[in-house]
Amino acid sequence: MSLRCEVLAVGTELLLGQVVDTNSAWIGEQLALSGIDSHLQVKVGDNPARIVQALRDALTRADAVVVCGGLGPTHDDVTRDAIAEVMGAELVLQPQLVEVIRAMFEARGRAMPEINSRQAMVPVGATVIEQRRGTAPGLVCPVGDRVIYAVPGVPHEMREMLERAVLPDLRSRSGEQASIVSRVLRTWGHSESGLNELLADVIEDLDGVGNPTLAFLASGIEGLKVRLTAKASDQRGALALLVGIEQRIRTALGSTVFGVDGETMESVVLDLLRERGLTLGLAESVTGGLVSARLTEVAGASTVLRGAIVSYASEVKHEVLEVPAGPVVTAEAAMAMAVGARRVLGADVGLALTGVAGPTEQDGQPVGTLHVGMAIGDEVTATSARLPGTRDQMRQFSVITALNALRLRLLDGAGPHP
């Protein structure tokens, strides 16, 4: 049984939604990668009694707690006091720690406000984690055979301290050497329940063993993710467990798997074009520039993407892209837009989107209609789809649907090759 560690994020601003707690998510990921189980993460306000209770509850369930935030100098920073109470220990000023903090201020040409000496209060029995980025030191606080780690809430201070001191200490306490390895297959083309049906055999086999585990995650414009997590005594063993299952999943899902882990549809499509020596020009209507904005988020997109014509007004479609007069939410218009974009932008490949995001229908076409036009070499084609969701979602789905159509065309070997 591996070490269990909970995370307690402290701050009234987190409960009120003024700040989103991203620290817990990051800590959770680090714990998982270190093979430490994290079954619960809690947010609590700047209230001493409630922090004490939350710490006590956590220590009944877990071997360790990382408490994050509430180590600042002001009156509402009460994490130190709460930990001292849980330890049943006194909080004592460490004069040499005051001098460290004072020196940090002086190095920035400022006098230390007296209030900052509060940050040098340490519960008797606790060990200090040296502060390198901010003025708040961290704390390692034994409670019986369990332990509380206190780290600052400022993300970059917290991360540095966790990597340098907390994770190594946790790993050394953890008796076992379990390694957890995770892989995400990104897919587009099946619904969550569709994936469930295609992978029914794999799921049944895994349910019997419980390792690796399999989960689906709908992530909008990021695709529908299939996450595999394997656990073994070392990284190699965990990877070996993954590989077999991954192959079964890839066989079942075929070309709907477009990427792995950090690969996005954008980066995959740009790579395919780059490998083939092709440049891209876009014509966007329904998405209003979103395809172009997403592609140019990828550093290095400029070697592939020439640009885009956002033809939001119909006149721009007719006059700039030379789409023939008539309705503009049709497969024919999408093909004409793709040809126009390729010509105006001097690109090898033209990709075009026209459709209806709502709130109301257009040209007699219902909300959700999408036509994707592609011009590659002599082949000009279109694919059409009916997409669900709100205006914003429909636009997001349009982006990944259009890029996926281009990806499948390129994989099919369509168009000119260098």
Interacting positions 20-79 with a second copy (CB under 8 A): 20-22, 24-30, 32, 38-47, 50, 54, 57, 72-76
Cβ–Cβ under 8 Å, residues 252 and 200: no
Per-residue contact flags (x/-) with a second copy for residues 147 to 186, judged by CB under 8 A: -------x-x-------------------------x-x--
Q: How many CB atoms lie within 10 A of CB 1?
A: 8
The length of the chain in residues reads 418
Among 95, 113, 144, 208, binds a second copy (CB under 8 A): 113
Per-residue contact flags (x/-) with a second copy for residues 267 to 306, judged by CB under 8 A: ------------x--x-x--xxxxxxx-xxx-x-xx--xx
Cβ–Cβ under 8 Å, residues 411 and 257: no
Binding residues for a second copy, rule CB under 8 A, total: 105
Q: How many CB atoms lie within 10 A of CB 323?
A: 28
> Does residue 348 touch a second copy according to CB under 8 A?
no
Tell me which residues in 242-261 interact with a second copy (CB under 8 A): none
Smaller CB distance to a second copy: residue 360 or 412? 360
**Dist CA 401 CA 305 (whole Å):** 18
> Does residue 17 touch a second copy according to CB under 8 A?
yes
Cα distances (Å, whole numbers) of residue 184 to 207, 209, 251, 260, 415: 18, 20, 15, 6, 31
User: In angstroms, how far is CA 307 from the centroid of its own chain?
Assistant: 27
Cβ–Cβ under 8 Å, residues 43 and 128: no
Per DSSP (E only), the strands in 211-324 are 213-218, 224-232, 257-260, 280-284, 305-310
Per-residue contact flags (x/-) with a second copy for residues 312 to 341, judged by CB under 8 A: xx-xx--xx---------------------
> Does residue 355 touch a second copy according to CB under 8 A?
no
Rg (alpha carbons) of the chain, rounded to whole number: 28
Smaller CB distance to a second copy: residue 54 or 232? 54
Smaller CB distance to a second copy: residue 126 or 259? 259
Among 131, 311, 398, 401, binds a second copy (CB under 8 A): 311
> Does residue 211 touch a second copy according to CB under 8 A?
no
> Does residue 207 touch a second copy according to CB under 8 A?
yes
Among 345, 367, 374, 402, binds a second copy (CB under 8 A): 345
**Dist CA 239 CA 229 (whole Å):** 9
